[in-house]
Amino acid sequence: MIETERAATLATPGPAERVRLLLVRLFVRLGVLPFLLLVAVVVFASLSENFLTVRNLTNVVRQAVYLLIVSLGQMLALLTGGFDLSVGTILALTSVVSASAMAAAHAAFPELPWLSIALGSMAGLAAGTAIGVANGLGVALFGVSPFIMTLGMASVGFGIALYLTGGVPVYGMPVLFGEVFGFGTLLGVPVPILIAALLVLVMLVLVYRTRLGRSFYAVGGNIKAARLSGIDTRRVLFATYVLCALATSIGGLLLTARLDTGEANIGASMPLESIAACVIAGVSLRGGVGRVENVVLGALFIVLVQNGMNLARIESYLQTVVLGLLLILAVIADQLRLRAMASLRA
Amino acid sequence: MAAAPLLELRGVSKAYPGVLALDRVDLELRAGEVHVLFGENGAGKSTLISLVAGVQAPDAGEIRLAGTAVRFASVHEACRAGVSAVFQEFSLVPQLTVAENIVLGDEPRCGLLLDVTAARRIARELLDRLGFALDPDARVEGLTRAEQQMVEIAKAFRSEPRVLVLDEPTASLTEREARRLLALVEQLETQGVGILYITHRMGEIRRIGDRVTVLRDGRKIATVPATTSEDELVRLMTGRAIEQIFPPLPPVPAGAPVLRVEDLTTRSGSVVAASFALRAGEILGFAGLVGSGKSEAARAVFGLEPITSGRLLLDGAPVETPTPAAMLARGVLYLPPDRREEGLAMVRPARENMTMAALDRPELGPGPWLGPFREARLAHELARRIELRPAAPERTVELFSGGNQQKILLARALARPVRLLMLDEPTVGVDMATRAAIYRLVVELAERGTAILLVSSDLPEILHLSHRVLVFHRGRVRAELVGAEIGEEAVLQHFFEREAA
């Protein structure tokens, strides 16, 4: 009976069926992102003639830098089967700590702007990474679920950032900081883009060419199997959250340079946006699956959509709605993809 | 017999990704009959009863209950139609009491509220009838495995089933409890209940069985009277001459033991004062029932079970607290029984799974780096040695058949130098051809001087692949059999409590 059914489907591979099968194969292989990109480009190009211009697209890339860097960190957390809800806080804490330290140093040594920049950046990176260390200790050592640990630290970090500044933006950094890291160019390429490109490169090497990188996939793929294979799963989980925080912290520094102030209120939408960028790019929420190249595209896509909506004069409140829907859509697409995969196999 | 059989399966098939678990199986269960399902692990017994009990639906064929075709959407529906099942995996809610579990899904009610007194009375009556000494108010999580088994059985009896499916119900019972259960089964039989009974125990087949249906690789081989000789049943079950499956064992070279374990006791009490040793090139079989401690002993050596007392010596040097990483560094590898649960990262490629335990090896790259070409070369070499089909190391593990997944797991032992390899149920759910390939690899490893500890519930595997066999019973090493002493009777007689008969 099974044989006859199978024979029947084999005998009639109509052209429509063939196209459908090809699309399903493409979907399984590439995920939902290429389809979404195509739709977004077509829709926004028809809504605004300014959308598909070199100027605008360059702008998109420059705006995407911050989300992109945070998403790279978020990807590590997702790869190991967790996530990091504290990335927004890490951004904020890095911003206010670096700005405060930089401003203080600048007031003390006004003739040495690079020294202030170096000191302030170190302080910011240290503060941001400290949140990651706490996350890592909680998840790896005490077995707190990433959800609770990073949610808790998000509150802790945000509180500290507000406490340090009294909720007021921090001014007084050397002008050079913003000039170089916010708006500077090197060989015609904006410095933030260069730094992001460098980070992507580092991430590619880390994830694909090192033992630690492989361990992220092994732990996310099956943590028990990883442990039985001699992988120190605690160390890997700890490294995950520290590296995620470090990347996010670098993003925070760049954002501070761009804004020219230290603010506790930046990054509130970062957890959602970075998880959305990763998931749309095919990073599995169950861990063990995800590629750096795709996450770069995912982050670009999110910013592209925001940019397109701005050009199409869609209200910013509604933009938030669209973003939430996109995240959910991406997760649904991920489920559909699993089912499609199973159907192809049968 | 003129009347339609109580339960009838006609051409029933069920496929899982990559494997045809049941292939056009016919089966007929009469009222007042104990029909035994007999076969190796992975032969399709569990799949068959899951279809009968409504856990899942067949892909093809039909199930007829008293002459009418039925299609159960759920266990609950099957239960209402008069088909109850007791599975090996318990379906109890640990936080609820015995009574609450027994009435779960069909609670007596008093208006909108649960009638707690009635629930307790129902449970009490059932337990009394079955002769189980259990407190209806006890919480299930506090019960022993045998007691939980009794609750599970009581639950199945609640609906007064016409067809009762029992999956190795005596496996975790004591001799007394088991005898009680068998008496009960006989009593039900006289009441006209049809019983589908899975067991590996010859004694039970003789005592309560009427007919035996033998399954192998998803196909029905034969239905024979329960009086059929043991040899014949085993022949039907394995389907071929033993020599075709198992390669000849190489002799064990003399020498000091690689591993020596003295008085090992685990914190959970799963292993009690176990001592054993094995030499390079020797295959030591661990036999015993599920929960006898045979698996836990191996896991304790690899640092997966906390040890309270005992000594562990590797090449004569004591190991204080074993951990997987430390044991791997010393050339000890344990491969777990459940490849999905603990063995493989299913979403990752075969290559990464094969090299997973070798990430600390210099062959894969200097310092913290992984050389992609070196790894790819190693993966290809491993795929060739394990006869991976298809020979595509980049393919996601999930897409391989069960047998090939098992081979991928085994490849970990070839990816790095291993002096002691511990295999825990290495052929669960694996077809005969793959088994033969796995056995060849194991013997090849032994020939090259790897000490092999083989934990297995598969008796033929233990009998034909071990130089020496230890039989575990309730956490203790109960018997040691060497060479010609290793025989089915000799091994099996140590599995159970001493039979009174």
A283 vs A275: CA distance, rounded Å? 9
Q: Which pLDDT score, from 0 to 100, does residue B172 have? A: 66
Kindly state the DSSP code that residue B498 receives in the 8-state scheme. Answer: P
The closest of A217, A207, A232, A199 to A79, measured between CA atoms, is: A217
The closest of A68, A127, A70 to A94, measured between CA atoms, is: A127
Q: Which pLDDT score, from 0 to 100, does residue B133 have? A: 82
A228–B357: do the CB atoms touch at under 8 Å? Answer: yes
The 10s digit of each residue's pLDDT in B307-355 is 999 999 999 999 999 999 999 999 999 999 989 889 999 999 999 999 9
Own/partner contacts of A185-189, CB < 8 Å, gap of 24 or more, are none
Would you kindly state where each structural domain of chain B is located, as residue ranges? 7-239, 240-331+419-425+449-501, 337-416
Question: Among A228, A232, A346, whose Cβ lies nearest the Cβ of B17?
Answer: A346
Q: Where are the beta strands (DSSP E) in B393-467?
A: 420-424, 451-455
Q: Residue A299 — pLDDT band, cuts 50, 70, 90? A: very high
Whether the Cβ atoms of residue B418 and residue B332 lie closer than 8 Å to each other: yes
The 10s digit of each residue's pLDDT in A92-112 is 999 999 999 999 999 999 999
**CB burial class (10 A; 0-12, 13-18, 19+) of residue A215?**
buried
A221–B357: do the CB atoms touch at under 8 Å? Answer: no
Q: Which pLDDT score, from 0 to 100, does residue A346 have? A: 53
Average pLDDT over residues A163-171: 92
Question: Among B17, B327, B365, whose Cβ lies nearest the Cβ of A342?
Answer: B17
- The complex scores an ipTM of 0.87
pTM of the model: 0.80
- Per-residue H/E/C for chain A: CHHHHHHHHHHCCCHHHHHHHHHHHHHHHHCCHHHHHHHHHHHHHHHCCCCCCHHHHHHHHHHHHHHHHHHHHHHHHHHCCCCCCCHHHHHHHHHHHHHHHHHHHHHHCCCCHHHHHHHHHHHHHHHHHHHHHHHHHHHHHCCCCHHHHHHHHHHHHHHHHHHHHCCCCECCCCHHHHHHHHCCEECCEEHHHHHHHHHHHHHHHHHHHEHHHHHHHHHHHCHHHHHHCCCCHHHHHHHHHHHHHHHHHHHHHHHHHHHCCECCCCCCCHHHHHHHHHHHCCCCCCCCCCCHHHHHHHHHHHHHHHHHHHHCCCCHHHHHHHHHHHHHHHHHHHHHHHHHHHHHHC
Q: Nearest C-alpha of chain B: how many angstroms from A343?
A: 9
B342 vs A227: CA distance, rounded Å? 9
User: Does some domain include residue A236?
Assistant: yes
Q: Which residue of B has its CA nearest to A345?
A: B17
Average pLDDT over residues A27-31: 80
> Of 3.40.50.300, 1.10.10.10, 2.60.40.10, 1.10.275.10, which CATH number belongs to B7-239?
3.40.50.300
* pLDDT > 70? residue A1: no
B271 vs B325: CA distance, rounded Å? 22
Average pLDDT over residues A169-191: 94
* pLDDT > 70? residue A12: no
Dihedral angle sign, alpha carbons of residues A124, A129, A131, A134: negative
Helix (H/G/I), strand (E/B), else coil: B215: strand
User: Does some domain include residue A133?
Assistant: yes
The 10s digit of each residue's pLDDT in A222-257 is 999 999 999 999 999 999 999 999 999 999 999 999
Neighboring chain A residues of B359 at a CB cutoff of 8 Å: 211, 214-215, 218, 229-231
C-alpha pair distances (Å), B221 with each of B43, B236, B239: 11, 7, 9
A222–B346: do the CB atoms touch at under 8 Å? Answer: yes
In one-letter notation, the amino acid at residue A152 is G
User: Two tokens at A279?
Assistant: 């998931």
Residues in contact with A26: Cβ distance below 8 Å, sequence separation at least 6, in sequence order: A34
Helix (H/G/I), strand (E/B), else coil: B494: coil
* pLDDT > 50? residue A294: yes
Q: What are phi and psi of B28, to 5 degrees?
A: -135, 125
pLDDT above 90 coverage of chain A, percent: 75
* CATH number of the domain to which A251 belongs: 1.10.3470
- Same fold: B7-239 with B240-331+419-425+449-501: yes
User: Does some domain include residue A212?
Assistant: yes
User: Does some domain include residue A25?
Assistant: no
Range of the domain at A202: 33-340
| Ranges A150-164, A285-299, B95-109, B168-182: which has the least confidence | B168-182
Q: Which pLDDT score, from 0 to 100, does residue B205 have? A: 87
* pLDDT > 50? residue A7: no
Is domain B240-331+419-425+449-501 annotated with CATH 3.40.50.300? yes
> Taking the CB of residue B342, how many other CB atoms lie within 10 A of it?
20
Cα radius of gyration rounded to whole Å, chain A: 22
Dihedral angle sign, alpha carbons of residues B75, B81, B85, B91: positive
Question: Among A1, A208, A228, whose Cβ lies nearest the Cβ of B334?
Answer: A228
Q: Which pLDDT score, from 0 to 100, does residue B499 have? A: 44
Q: What are phi and psi of B394, to 5 degrees?
A: -85, -10
Q: Which residues of B168-188 are buried (b: 16+ CB within 10 A; e: fewer)?
A: bbbbbbeeebbbbbbebbeeb
Q: Which residue of A has its CA nearest to B356?
A: A229
More confident residue, B452 or A14: B452
C-alpha pair distances (Å), A252 with each of A101, A170, A245, B391: 14, 14, 10, 47
Residues in contact with B277: Cβ distance below 8 Å, sequence separation at least 6, in sequence order: B257, B259, B260, B261
A213–B344: do the CB atoms touch at under 8 Å? Answer: no
Which residues of A have a CB under 8 Å from any CB of B? 1-2, 208-215, 217-218, 220-222, 224-232, 284, 286, 288-289, 342, 345-346
Mean pLDDT, chain B cut into blocks of 10 residues (501 residues total): 79 82 92 90 83 90 91 87 84 89 84 85 88 87 79 85 87 71 85 88 84 90 88 77 78 92 94 95 92 93 95 94 95 93 94 95 92 93 93 90 91 96 88 84 95 91 93 93 87 70 37
* pLDDT > 60? residue A158: yes
State the DSSP H helix or E strand holding residue B264, giving kind and residue range, or none if neither: strand B257-266
Q: Which pLDDT score, from 0 to 100, does residue A13 have? A: 60
Neighboring chain A residues of B344 at a CB cutoff of 8 Å: 222, 225
- Could you give the number of structural domains in chain A? 1
State the DSSP H helix or E strand holding residue B197, giving kind and residue range, or none if neither: strand B194-198
Q: Residue A345 — pLDDT band, cuts 50, 70, 90? A: low
Residues in contact with B356: Cβ distance below 8 Å, sequence separation at least 6, in sequence order: A218, A225, A226, A229, A231, B345, B412
Whether the Cβ atoms of residue A116 and residue A93 lie closer than 8 Å to each other: no
The closest of B457, B447, B384 to B415, measured between CA atoms, is: B384
Q: Residue A9 — pLDDT band, cuts 50, 70, 90? A: very low
User: Does some domain include residue A5?
Assistant: no
